[in-house]
Amino acid sequence: MVRTLRKQYAAALVDGGDYTAALPELRVLLQQFATTGSGPEDPVVRQLREDEALCLRELGAG
């Protein structure tokens, strides 16, 4: 439940262009998925990685 809400929150931040706030949320989610055994090809993990890359690009760090 908490992870679902965090995913929705992170998506809203990315969609709203608040990349600075979205990036740490995405990283927490990626860590959580890594500890549950989700692999890099999991669709949710792939979307999180894409959103992370977008944030980094928009913030000039990627």
> What Å distances lie between residue 43 and 17, 40, 47, 48, 58, CA to CA?
22, 8, 6, 9, 23
Please provide residue 17's backbone torsions phi and psi, each rounded to the nearest 5 degrees: 80, 15
Query: 10 pLDDT band (50/70/90 cuts)?
Result: very high
* Residue with tokens 């894409």, as numbered in its chain: 50
**pLDDT (0 to 100) of residue 62:** 62
Is pLDDT above 90 for 34?
A: no
What domain range includes position 38? 2-58
- Domain count of the fold of the chain: 1
**pLDDT (0 to 100) of residue 36:** 84
